[in-house]
Every structure is written in structure tokens, then in C-alpha cells.
Amino acid sequence: MAAATFDMLIEQGIDYDYVLTVRSQAEGRPPLDLTGCTVRAHVRAHHGADALLLYDLATGGGLAITNPAAGKMALHIPAETSADWSWRVGVYDLELVSAGGQPLRLLRGAVRVVGEVTR
């Protein structure tokens, strides 16, 4: 299964929240049971092994599986976190790692940060 493309637009200094339901490819597309899985994601300056890590979404952003049986995960980037960013553009991917250690890329795309003016 190919990763879906989802570009993030983050307004600096404002909470960013995104909720995702992971669905099976089976007929009817029921939610995928995420019990025992973990999730990871990085924002980097560009694709490539030498790309600067701009932000670790899994540890810094509150990326978590919130309801494993229902296939739900959530991403929360606090306003205080994005307020400190000096970068404006990056790329990311989000991977689900099974209990057995097999990664599956779910999302990929660009991250654009709209700079804060009022502080």
C-alpha cells in the first residue's frame, strides 16, 4: 500500500491537531487494529540521508495511538513548540511499526509553517 499524501500547514504559535483513523484495505475498509503498534515521524529539511532533522513528531509533538482497537492516532503540536521554530518548510513521513517490528508508511508530504506576526 502506498502512503497517502497529506501536506501540513502549521500556523506558528497556534496549537496544531490532526486525528487519523487507519483503515484496512479489506472490503468495507474497517479500522485497522493498532494494538501493539508504535508510530514515528520526522520533519526534515529535505529528502535524503544527510537531511537536517527539524522536528521529531513522535517525541516532541505528542504523536500517539489513542484508541488502538479503533485504529485511531492523534498528533498534537503545542503552540509553544511551533513558536520557537525558525524554519518554514520541510518534508515528513509518518510510519506505523507493527508489534513484530515491520514499518508501514502511512502518510508523507510537505510541512509549511506560516510565521507568527503577533506575539
Q: What is the pLDDT of residues 92-114, one digit of tens each?
A: 999 999 999 999 999 999 999 99
The candidate with the shortest Cα–Cα distance to 77, out of 36, 37, 111, is 111
> Does 37 fall in a domain?
yes
| Residue 13: band (very low, low, confident or very high) from pLDDT cuts 50, 70, 90 | very high
Is there a domain that residue 33 lies in? yes
pLDDT at 36: 95
Q: Look at residue 5 and tell me if it is in a domain.
A: no
In a domain? residue 32: yes
pLDDT over threshold 90, residue 46: yes
Does 59 map to a domain?
yes
Total domains present in the chain = 1
Q: Which of 17, 23, 8, 18 is nearest to 106 (CA)?
A: 23
- Residue 58: pLDDT band by 50, 70, 90 thresholds? confident
Domain-embedded: residue 35 = yes
In-domain check, residue 108: no
- Residue 60 scores a pLDDT above 80: no
Q: How confident is the model at residue 62 (pLDDT cuts 50, 70, 90)?
A: confident
- The pLDDT value recorded for residue 113 is 98
Residue type present at position 27:
E
**17 pLDDT more than 90:** yes
> Quick check: 57 pLDDT over 70?
yes
Instruction: Give me the mean pLDDT over the 56-84 stretch.
Output: 91
- Is there a contact between 36 and 93 (Cβ–Cβ < 8 Å)? no
The answer to whether 79 and 103 are in contact (CB under 8 A) is no
User: Is 65 contained in some domain?
Assistant: yes
pTM summary value? 0.89
Domain limits at 56? 15-83
What pLDDT sits at residue 61? 66
